[in-house]
Structure 1
């Protein structure tokens, strides 16, 4: 019996009857039992710990009822996928992918790109073929797949635009998965309002005006950039999702990662611009396998999370390329070892090396959400991207409910835990609105009444005649903008501000003592930049940050930004001033 979450098969009898016609098939994907992210009863998987029962996507009986993403085209903007992979080929759209290096429709990594397995792994999480007698199963195992290999070809903005809306291969893409971002996303955003519009407007115009659903990995910067970060970042997170430009666009579903215990994956970048969480796991190593290759001293250097379950998915075919290969001698890196029971052609689980059980990151969490969106669009292809975002948020499950705020010695909140807004929506800067639930989302998608016309306040701003001194938590700098009559309920909020408070861009980098907080007309407080994070720039100034904690709150009224210096003692002179604040509220 599932211990953490109840079974969620709540579709109507009529709907089930219509969808399940001809759907009864044996589970003939031999590695499915290891895919805890799809169905988790606490079974033994790859890794030294068992997953906590019920920590999964809530697929439940959807696949059995033929809800598999049929007819939904998913574009994967990444490294190129091996489109002839035995567990992907049947779902790949013929001549639908694009190779930016040679202008062909085959983005498969070349022999010289033998380690570029990321795109193949991401694509398999979304849409590996089900019930074909081999390997694994995707979240949407009947979705139609396209691959765009921009990470193998320089990764330019022009290539992103090609895959998002410009290119002929992108025209029928309903879901765009984007498991990429800056390696160390620490820089405060610099983007003009015209640039924001130049991205968001064509994104909204795709899919006949419904808008492609763009799903984006938040990043792996909580501690993976530890060499840049002081110890003070340990509880808050070195990087923040708001430091990544694209994660702040209105059209983007920014995804955090949850592990098999139902907690934040150790690496997952937090932030105010998160929307929901997917499942990314940890690292999938196994001590029993590594102990035959590495010394006890070497193993002792590895943190415990290395041995917790990761995500099992497709890998580049064969034992020479990809994540799962035969052991390499002499050993130079940990990846040269066999990391778990699945690896090498000596594996008794699967000797093809066509699959890997070490995929992780928000790169893995993002495609779990993309797969769920494909299931939603199968049952209701008329959903707009706004409808999809709303359904994902309002059906997500609260995980790690005891996550608490991080405070300093005097009780000042440096980073929030779970908070509930004035509309009753719980939000966390670690998890967004929570872990996606496929069955609840699909059930809500069926017959969903559209949110209706978008109401956009446009950018409203205040330039302070007298810049406000940035004092301590008891005397923060404040600026207020009133949003007049327009949208009744909030869907999204974007802000920017300018100050002359020095942040610094020297090495070693320093965490900021500043807390930037946005207060809604209803009084809900959301931390935009937490003290302890490491923003890089000359001053605490940024043009674009999404603050997603206000879903369904009243849009009109006074919105106030507060900037406080948590390092400043009472009576000490301020180190900088707040000079301007701008805000844009979108809703219906």
Structure 2
């Protein structure tokens, strides 16, 4: 029985029959499919010491059997290069459709000197590994057409992102762009002008004949990644935040968090106000029985329990000499040198090719699960705009971890919200966005979906305070308001910026901030943009761009207020800084 809240929507008989042409083909199966709990999870034993909780999957159900497999949808993978000749990928790779930024060729496969660069191959397999070919694994969209752009192997420049997103000839027919990359250290946005933002968002929207490529982006793995600088409170709210990374705040981007096999936040998953939905990233996929033959009990005891919970099984660089799954070579120096589970090495009784790995995780793994679902949507309805896709994913997502509660301090001040429901009845969490994607529900909604219609964009509206407001404690926060006289009737996205002279810190050692930044909608919904305890980097609490996605379907017309409170400030003590300006942009229909 499925144990997640929310009912699974089932496609109508007529729809299934219409989409099932050719589904009765001879199917050889995929031998490792049973380990891919993210696709179909009935609580079976998988790689890892714990079993997944039944029902924690992306809801493929019978879609593949009815030929809903992403057929004809071109997916671009901006990452390390994928091994395009991999036996479980080659049949889905677009001939001469990929790009190698290092040698200007159409083969982005990592070179022999890049033997550890298996990330792109793993991500690509999660999206579109070939199904029913008698070997290995299956992708979320096992008939999608795949292109690889190896910018992480070639410096990761802005020009390369633009090339893969819209500018390069190989990107022109890409319908979905997967971006499993980002910053693991905390950042704070300080230099993104409105013109610079438009220079990204406008060409992104113009792709796919004006429908817009669907850009899927990993939120990051920064919940604990800067633990050296994080006090105990940060362990409750997350050191880094998704709003600290510029691209995660673009209107065109679907920012994805990671859920593990228990249906809760993966231990590393970066939270934040710019999250849209969650995919499945799992944990680490280690197994004690395998490691016990190589490591001491004392060594194993140093590892956290999440190391032994299931990760994601996917494609790896071929052979046992490179990639994640290799034969051990002495001397063993790091944990990655061990055989971490039963799948690893050519001695594996499960699969001895070393062509697959069961340790892939991160929001890097969660994002391609969402990308694959998008490919399924675009197969059944290729006329969906990127805005339609975002809306469908959000309104069909499942509410996981429904008891997630707000984090408060000793005074009862909310540092970070749990699940909240906005004035339009949409539940939202800064850990999960609108919830875990549900492929069957989303495909059902996509079939015959009526477009959201013309975009209503308020443009940037700004207030500069004649008298900057002192940033007091939770009882006396600094406030600034902007009134939108004719905003969107139904909100799709909100972006804000603000300026203050409150010192944050941009030199080592970094410090967590005691500030809570909250945005209040005209309907009274409160959304925390920056939680106290996170670790922003900057001279002052000033930023030009943060997406605040909690207001879907509310009205955008009326008074929008930002509040900035200092949770460290005792009553009656002097403020440490002042709020001087606030700006907002509301988009919708």
TM-score, normalising length from structure 2?
0.99
Q: What is the aligned partner in structure 1 of residue 527 from structure 2?
A: 526
SS of the aligned residue for 1:389 comes to helix
Higher mean C-alpha displacement, 437-446 vs 327-336: 327-336
Q: What is the aligned partner in structure 1 of residue 22 from structure 2?
A: 22
SS of the aligned residue for 2:147 comes to strand
Shift of 1:131: 0.0
Equivalent runs, 1:381-420 vs 2, <5 Å: 381-420=382-421
Q: Work out the CA distance in 1 between the residues paired with 2:446 and 2:301.
A: 48
**Structure 2 portions without partners, runs of 5+:** none
Shift of 1:506: 2.7
Instruction: Note if contact 2:75-2:144 (Cα within 8 Å) is conserved in structure 1.
Output: yes
Equivalent runs, 1:87-102 vs 2, <5 Å: 87-102=88-103
Q: Work out the CA distance in 2 between the residues paired with 1:387 and 1:133.
A: 36
SS of the aligned residue for 2:191 comes to coil
Q: Work out the CA distance in 1 between the residues paired with 2:70 and 2:305.
A: 36
The reply on whether 1:489 has 2:478 as its aligned counterpart is: no
Shift of 1:20: 1.0
Instruction: Note if contact 1:7-1:60 (Cα within 8 Å) is conserved in structure 2.
Output: no
Per-residue CA distance 1:71-101 (angstroms, 9 max, x = gap): 0000000000000000000000000000000
Q: Work out the CA distance in 2 between the residues paired with 1:13 and 1:5.
A: 24
Instruction: Note if contact 1:290-1:340 (Cα within 8 Å) is conserved in structure 2.
Output: yes
How has the CA–CA distance of structure 1 residues 48 and 295 changed in structure 2, closer, same or farther, with 3 Å as cutoff? same
The reply on whether 1:357 has 2:376 as its aligned counterpart is: no
Q: What is the aligned partner in structure 2 of residue 285 from structure 1?
A: 286
TM-score, normalising length from structure 1?
0.99
Q: Work out the CA distance in 2 between the residues paired with 1:142 and 1:333.
A: 37
Higher mean C-alpha displacement, 54-63 vs 325-334: 325-334
Q: What is the aligned partner in structure 1 of residue 39 from structure 2?
A: 38
SS of the aligned residue for 2:65 comes to coil
Q: What is the aligned partner in structure 2 of residue 13 from structure 1?
A: 13
How has the CA–CA distance of structure 1 residues 302 and 460 changed in structure 2, closer, same or farther, with 3 Å as cutoff? same
Shift of 1:229: 2.1
Q: What is the aligned partner in structure 1 of residue 296 from structure 2?
A: 295
SS of the aligned residue for 1:377 comes to helix
Q: Work out the CA distance in 2 between the residues paired with 1:3 and 1:576.
A: 47
- What is the RMSD computed on CA atoms of the aligned residues? 1.0
Shift of 1:507: 2.0
Q: Work out the CA distance in 1 between the residues paired with 2:9 and 2:22.
A: 19
Q: Work out the CA distance in 2 between the residues paired with 1:110 and 1:257.
A: 30
Q: Work out the CA distance in 1 between the residues paired with 2:8 and 2:482.
A: 43
Higher mean C-alpha displacement, 479-488 vs 75-84: 479-488
For this pair of structures, how many residues does the alignment match? 588
Q: What is the aligned partner in structure 2 of residue 435 from structure 1?
A: 436
Instruction: Note if contact 1:5-1:54 (Cα within 8 Å) is conserved in structure 2.
Output: no
Instruction: Note if contact 2:283-2:362 (Cα within 8 Å) is conserved in structure 1.
Output: yes
**Structure 1 portions without partners, runs of 5+:** none
Shift of 1:144: 0.1
Instruction: Note if contact 2:230-2:533 (Cα within 8 Å) is conserved in structure 1.
Output: no
Q: What is the aligned partner in structure 2 of residue 557 from structure 1?
A: 558
Q: What is the aligned partner in structure 1 of residue 277 from structure 2?
A: 276
Q: Work out the CA distance in 1 between the residues paired with 2:443 and 2:526.
A: 31
Equivalent runs, 1:88-167 vs 2, <5 Å: 88-167=89-168
SS of the aligned residue for 2:66 comes to coil
Shift of 1:508: 2.0
How has the CA–CA distance of structure 1 residues 7 and 577 changed in structure 2, closer, same or farther, with 3 Å as cutoff? closer
Per-residue CA distance 1:338-357 (angstroms, 9 max, x = gap): 00000000000000000000
Equivalent runs, 1:68-467 vs 2, <5 Å: 68-467=69-468
Shift of 1:189: 4.0
Q: Work out the CA distance in 2 between the residues paired with 1:510 and 1:550.
A: 30
